[in-house]
């Protein structure tokens, strides 16, 4: 996007992200600016006529019952220093100025520049509706600050989410006045210096402009919208990680079939199942016959004799099922050969695989609901009072300047609470798949902790699961909704608040740890996939030699040659040999292979223990840079960030 036109009615999440994260410039719609100025002129006319108006000729909040006089009660001038009012300013100008300088009281580390830029574009867009009384010149100054790269320092904590995000928005506005602090070209400095270096001048506020600038939901909306952008990508990564794990398990695809989900058509569930089917397209591992899958056995010097197999770090094996143990299972053994290897003889996988569409889909539905709320809020007027200069039949100022509650953040807060509860759910099912991959009792024939460990010295991927578990626990403890705890403010004039700013900020912060968990699953699943594929292909190479006795040596519970079932055993081993030798190369789905190759470009297969901290950093960095976008969802390829 070269430039985005703001008209107060058509801003999209994608455009917001383009401004916030890609630095796209904005331009104000000329027609809509006429409406903006019309409202400002209307307000000035009413003030000149002496009409009492909240926040213009009265104080704010609990001071709303105090009407401003024509001059100061104390006949003294206030020097313009350290954020005090300028000499000569009217009480109405001083009211707006003081509103900003006294409300910029947030604490904590500054928001990242993308959050602040998102706040700026949201505030500009809502003011473009022409119901706030701000002058065109002030709106243009705010736009110039955004376009020229002045990023106000906005500490993260201080908003209760009604009357909007007063404190953080005041940190935005104070820079316009030449106060506060800002970043410019990556350097932190005073607001006055940032404006000067950007070629801009401070402004003085007129009627209601302070209230127009700081009364609204821009912080919670900005953090919420950016969090949803992150979550959209991570939902695709979660499906990709699940697909790679399913390939590594040589799992079953029946639970993904479209006719199954047509019977319970929750939109997210249907979409998740379809997406994973797409990611698994081309796989020869999913739905593989049970008898073809060997189980891991520790390497030994006698395990392999062919030169191409001597470098393998594992042995493989099956158990034969004698005829006298097949009673009642004849139909099964008519379809599958009587060998037990890595896959249990059951038609369903564990919940973390089989119920993935239901769980991932429910999180998708939470995301979609939040998107609906965010999309409405992006083009809503959220300050107070609201100005209707053209209200038909209006006789009194109260019919044209209406005090309402659009600043209350509860619609956003509850939507973010829903997403907040969903985040640890998505992380938890990912951790369960990771745990299943490393657990020899549940990983369908893969090595314990995904390492050969023939000497007993290797821990493999054991502790990777610990880290994932710690992250899931941390996410779960942070998932408690902030929106259920209202603490009244402004001497109980604002007696119910949303805490939506905290809620949305928490959600944005939680995206990082969710991404880490998914990166750890991908990292682990890639190791498991290598083992599964190499074990199967080693079995295929062994069978291709045509020596049934060499294959029989890998099979336990075999009868001796002098026992009556030996002939049947030989016949069935030959059948297994033919099935393995005639099969095509075992490989994952095309999209899974793409993601696996990306990981292997940067992280080598771990044959035995090595320092893993660099591997973990790389896996997490690839995820954070959206390097998996091409594999997870090609429609987000434009979001891929080059990585060093």
What string of DSSP letters covers 240-270?
HHHHHHHHHHT---GGG-HHHHTTS--HHHH
- Catalytic-role residue among 54, 418, 523, 531: 54
Question: What is the mean pLDDT of the segment spanning 439-457?
Answer: 95
CA distances from 311 to 5, 307, 603 (A): 62, 8, 19
Give the per-residue pLDDT at 74: 55
Nearest to 82 by CA among 64, 56, 63, 102: 102
Burial of 579 (0-12, 13-18, 19+ CB in 10 A): middle
CATH of domain 3-65+84-216: 1.10.275.10
Which residues, 6+ apart, have CB-to-CB distance to 389 below 8 Å?
Answer: 38, 39, 42, 43, 400
| 471-475 mean pLDDT | 98
Give the span between the Cα atoms of 178 and 260, in whole angstroms.
62
Residues 380-434 have pLDDT tens digits of 999 988 999 998 788 778 888 888 999 999 999 999 999 999 999 999 999 999 9
Query: Where residue 599 falls among pLDDT bands split at 50, 70, 90?
Result: very high
Check: CB of residue 261 under 8 Å from CB of residue 269.
Answer: yes
> What distance in Å separates the CA atoms of residue 258 and residue 244, rounded to the nearest whole number?
20
User: In this predicted structure, what is the pLDDT of residue 91?
Assistant: 81
pTM to 2 decimal places: 0.93
54 is catalytic: yes
CB 319 within 8 A of CB 339: yes
- Distance from C-alpha of 102 to C-alpha of 25, rounded to nearest angstrom: 30
| pLDDT bracket for residue 495 (50, 70, 90) | confident
- 406 neighbors 384 (Cβ within 8 angstroms): yes
Contact between 25 and 4 under an 8 Å Cβ cutoff? The reply is yes
Question: Could you count the other beta carbons within 10 Å of the beta carbon of residue 587?
Answer: 18
Per-residue pLDDT at 545? 93
Q: What's the average model confidence in pLDDT over 508-537?
A: 98
pLDDT (0 to 100) of residue 126: 97
Residue 637: the pLDDT is 36
* CA–CA gap between residue 476 and residue 420 (Å, rounded): 9
| pLDDT tens readout for residues 252-296 | 999 999 999 999 999 999 999 999 999 999 999 999 999 999 999
* Contact (CB, 8 A) for 364 and 356: no
Per-residue tokens: 299: 């390497």
CA distances for 124 relative to 36, 139, 295, angstroms: 11, 7, 62
Tell me, what's the pLDDT at 267? 95
Question: How do beta strands 555-556 and 314-320 pair?
Answer: parallel
Q: Where are the domains of the chain?
A: 3-65+84-216, 228-368+423-487+496-639
Residue 641 has pLDDT above 50, yes or no: no
Kindly state the tokens that stand for 325: 């143990």
Question: What's the gap between Cα 619 and its chain centre?
Answer: 16
295 beta partners: 317
Query: Per-residue pLDDT for 621 more than 90?
Result: yes
Give the end-to-end CA distance of the chain in Å, rounded to a whole number: 25
More confident residue, 644 or 491: 491
Task: Tell me if 3-65+84-216 shares its fold with 228-368+423-487+496-639.
Answer: no
**Range of weakest confidence among 91-100, 437-446, 575-584, 587-596:** 91-100
Q: Which CATH number is correct for 228-368+423-487+496-639, 1.20.200.10, 3.40.50.920, 1.10.390.10, 3.40.50.150?
A: 1.20.200.10
Neighbours of 208 (CB within 10 A): 32
Share of the chain above pLDDT 70, in %: 94
Query: CA-CA distance, 154 to 143, in Å (whole number)?
Result: 17
More confident residue, 11 or 44: 11
Strands 107-110 and 155-157: antiparallel
| Separation in Å, CA 316 to CA 286, 345, 446, 515, 536 | 20, 18, 10, 35, 9
Q: Judge whether 171 and 154 are in contact, CB under 8 Å.
A: yes
Task: Give the highest mean pLDDT range of 84-88, 207-211, 310-314, 449-453.
Answer: 449-453
Beta strand 181-184 with 155-157 is unpaired
Mean of all residue pLDDT scores within the chain? 92
- In this prediction, residue 79 has a pLDDT band, given cuts at 50, 70 and 90, of very low
Among 104-108, 390-394, 403-407, 633-637, top mean pLDDT goes to 104-108
Percent pLDDT > 90 in the chain is: 80
pLDDT at 640: 34
Structure tokens at 559: 């009868």
State the virtual CA torsion across 466, 468, 469, 475 in degrees, nearest 10: 150
For residue 574, the surrounding DSSP H or E stretch is helix 566-582
Q: Bigger pLDDT: 484 or 55?
A: 484
Q: What is the pLDDT of residue 440?
A: 96
- Joined together, the tokens standing for residue 589 give 């789905």
| Residue labelled with tokens 């055993």 | 569
Q: Report pLDDT for 634.
A: 54
Residue 316, classed as helix, strand or coil, is strand
Query: What are the tokens at 24?
Result: 């796209």
Dist CA 429 CA 425 (whole Å): 6
| Rounded distance between C-alpha atoms, residue 398 and residue 206, angstroms | 20
More confident residue, 1 or 11: 11
Counting Cα atoms < 13 Å in the Cβ hemisphere of 204 gives 12
Question: C-alpha 347: how far from its chain's center?
Answer: 33
Please report which confidence band the pLDDT of residue 636 belongs to, taking 50, 70 and 90 as the band edges.
very low
| Mean pLDDT within 58-69 | 71
For residue 106, what are the CA distances in angstroms to 205, 471, 510, 592? 21, 28, 21, 45
Q: What is the pLDDT of residue 70?
A: 60
Q: From the CB of residue 213, how many other CB atoms can be counted at a distance below 10 Å?
A: 28
């Amino acid at each position: 996007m070269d430039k985005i036109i703001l008209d107060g009615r058509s801003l999209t999440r994608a455009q917001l992200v383009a401004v916030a994260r890609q630095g796209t410039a904005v331009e104000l719609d000329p027609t809509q600016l006429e409406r903006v100025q019309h409202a400002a002129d209307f307000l000035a006319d009413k003030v000149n006529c002496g009409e009492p108006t909240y926040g213009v000729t009265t104080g704010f909040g609990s001071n709303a019952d105090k009407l401003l006089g024509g001059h100061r009660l104390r006949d003294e001038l206030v020097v313009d220093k350290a954020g005090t009012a300028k000499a000569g300013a009217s009480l109405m100008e001083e009211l707006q100025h003081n509103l900003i300088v006294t409300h910029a009281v947030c604490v904590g580390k500054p928001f990242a520049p993308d959050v602040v830029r998102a706040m700026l574009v949201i505030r500009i867009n809502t003011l473009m509706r022409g119901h706030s009384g701000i002058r065109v010149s002030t709106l243009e100054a705010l736009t110039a600050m955004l376009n020229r790269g002045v990023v106000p320092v906005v500490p993260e904590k201080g908003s209760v989410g009604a009357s909007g995000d007063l404190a953080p928005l005041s940190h935005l506005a104070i820079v316009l006045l030449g106060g506060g602090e800002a970043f410019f070209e990556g350097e932190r400095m005073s607001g006055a210096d940032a404006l000067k270096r950007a070629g801009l001048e401070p402004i003085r506020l007129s009627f209601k402009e302070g209230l127009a600038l700081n009364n609204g939901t821009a912080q919670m909306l900005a953090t919420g919208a950016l969090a949803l952008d992150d979550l959209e990508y991570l939902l695709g990564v979660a499906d990709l990680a699940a697909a790679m794990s399913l390939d590594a398990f040589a799992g079953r695809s029946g639970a993904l079939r479209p006719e199954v989900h047509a019977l319970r058509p929750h939109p997210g569930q249907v979409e998740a199942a379809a997406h994973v089917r797409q990611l698994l397209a081309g796989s020869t591992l999913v739905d593989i016959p049970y008898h073809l899958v060997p189980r891991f056995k520790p390497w030994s010097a006698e395990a392999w004799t062919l030169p191409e197999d001597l470098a393998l770090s594992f042995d493989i094996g099956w158990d034969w099922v004698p005829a006298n143990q097949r009673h009642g299972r004849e139909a099964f053994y008519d379809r599958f050969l009587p060998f037990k290897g890595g896959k249990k003889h059951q038609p369903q996988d564990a919940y973390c695989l089989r119920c993935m569409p239901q769980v991932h889909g429910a999180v998708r539905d939470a995301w979609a609901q939040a998107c609906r709320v965010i999309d409405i809020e992006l083009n809503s007027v959220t300050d107070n009072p609201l100005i209707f200069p053209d209200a038909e039949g209006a006789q009194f100022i109260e019919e044209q300047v209406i005090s309402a509650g659009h600043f209350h953040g509860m619609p956003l807060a509850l939507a973010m609470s829903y997403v907040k509860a969903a985040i640890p759910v998505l992380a938890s099912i990912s951790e369960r798949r990771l745990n299943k991959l490393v657990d020899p009792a549940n990983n369908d024939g893969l090595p314990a902790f995904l390492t050969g460990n023939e000497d007993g010295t290797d821990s493999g991927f054991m502790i990777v699961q610990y880290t994932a578990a710690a992250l899931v626990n941390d996410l779960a403890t942070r998932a408690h909704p902030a929106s259920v705890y209202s603490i009244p403010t402004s001497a109980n004039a604002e007696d119910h608040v949303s805490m939506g700013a905290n809620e949305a900020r928490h959600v944005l912060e939680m995206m990082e740890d969710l991404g880490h968990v998914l990166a750890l699953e991908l990292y682990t699943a890639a190791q498991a996939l290598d083992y599964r594929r190499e074990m199967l292909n080693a079995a295929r190479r062994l069978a291709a030699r045509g020596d049934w006795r060499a294959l029989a040596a890998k099979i336990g519970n075999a009868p001796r040659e002098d026992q009556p079932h030996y002939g049947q055993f030989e016949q069935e081993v030959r059948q297994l040999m033919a099935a393995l030798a005639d099969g095509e190369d075992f490989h994952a789905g095309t999209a899974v292979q793409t993601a696996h190759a990306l990981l292997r470009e940067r992280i080598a297969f771990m044959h035995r223990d090595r320092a893993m901290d660099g591997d973990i950093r790389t896996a997490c960095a690839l995820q954070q840079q959206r390097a998996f976008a091409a594999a997870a969802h090609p429609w987000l390829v434009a979001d891929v960030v080059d990585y060093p």
